Amino acid sequence: MKRREFVTLLAGTVFAWPLATRAQIAGVRRVVVLMGTADDAEAKARAVALQEGLQKLGWTVGRDIQVDYRFAAGNAERMRDYANEAVASGPDLLLAQTNFAIAALHKATSTLPIVFLQVSDPVGGGFVQSLAHPGGNITGFTNFESEIGGKWLRTLKDIAPAVETVGFLLNPETSAHAEFLAAAEKGSAALNTKVVPLGLHSAEEIESVITEFSHVPNGGMIVAPHPITRGKLIIDLASRYRLPTIYPFAFHAHDGGLISYGVDQVDQFRRAATYVDRILKGAKPADLPVQEPVKYELVINLKTAKALGLIVPPMLLALADETIE
């Protein structure tokens, strides 16, 4: 049987309590956060940012608001179970991180208010009617515009101009990934590159897919954001096969990835506190427009670039928010 405990952060302390047996504390509002990713250092940083954002708005975790976390670690079946269980527990508000988390909650309830984070193409995914007018019980914060695929490709070519064939690692079930891929394909001719989709349905497929692609001469990779692609295995394989690779988030570069370009995830959790606050005070998700990213980060791992024999152009260095020696 799957683990049935929530991880609850109260004043910086972590507790695991059975959801079904825990009673609602009188006067305390309860928020359930469904995380598509694992319970790791990145997740803890996001939880701290959310708590800090709530504190600035007058909420104290453990006193007048309780925040329960579930971590699906990329497992869609586990996420469906968590979504159904969370809805059945009757919280005041639900937070969903990643596309497959909001997809599970979208199916589980049409009435409980939901705020999503780090979700791409919420309109194409059927979660909201439009960004300006969500229209239902769901609103939130997107993480990437559809044209990001082209930006990733151009940035990869800037740091690794010899790359001719780019493997685009994506999850076929994520609607936004099709748009990212299309944007990269659209810009590929001008950059004298060929973009090929590399579909991943589970983390178990990563090694075989990249190993097969590594036989292509002058290859490089783009990694689309998804819980499946966030682990260190892709970084290790890119290093083993000397594949210049661009990643969607800064932690990839910190873990040894060549370069990353993407939204500041921690900042987005801090901003999400504003919507939690407004909804708990009576606002309806239908009336709160979906927010697009306001802060992107370009991070370059110079040590990895050197290991790949790449010389980082001064123009790219000047644009970088952070370089890692």
Structure tokens given for 125: 């995914």
Shared domain for 106 and 23, answered yes or no, is yes
Q: Which of 183, 187, 182 is nearest to 158 (CA)?
A: 187
Shared domain for 60 and 191, answered yes or no, is no
Q: According to the model, what pLDDT value does residue 25 have?
A: 59
> Range of 317's domain?
148-263+296-324
Shared domain for 170 and 194, answered yes or no, is yes
Shared domain for 20 and 131, answered yes or no, is yes
Q: According to the model, what pLDDT value does residue 100 have?
A: 87
CATH of the domain at 31: 3.40.50.2300
pLDDT tens string, the chain, 325 residues long: the values are 333 333 444 333 333 334 433 445 567 999 999 998 888 888 899 999 999 999 999 999 989 999 999 999 888 899 999 999 999 999 999 999 999 899 999 999 999 999 999 998 899 889 999 999 999 999 999 988 889 999 999 999 999 999 999 999 999 988 889 999 999 999 999 999 999 999 999 999 999 999 999 999 999 999 999 888 988 999 999 999 999 999 999 999 999 999 999 988 888 999 999 999 999 999 999 999 999 887 789 999 999 999 999 999 999 999 999 999 9
CA–CA separation, 239 and 252 (whole Å): 13
Shared domain for 180 and 227, answered yes or no, is yes
> What's 315's DSSP letter?
H
**Which run of H or of E encompasses 267?**
helix 265-280
SS3 of the chain: helix, strand, coil, percent, to 5: 40, 25, 35
Shared domain for 136 and 126, answered yes or no, is yes
Shared domain for 103 and 166, answered yes or no, is no
Q: According to the model, what pLDDT value does residue 24 have?
A: 53
Shared domain for 275 and 234, answered yes or no, is no
Q: According to the model, what pLDDT value does residue 14 have?
A: 36
Half-sphere exposure of 163 (CA within 13 A, CB side): 30
- Give the global pTM: 0.79
Q: Residue 321, Cβ neighbours under 10 Å: how many?
A: 14
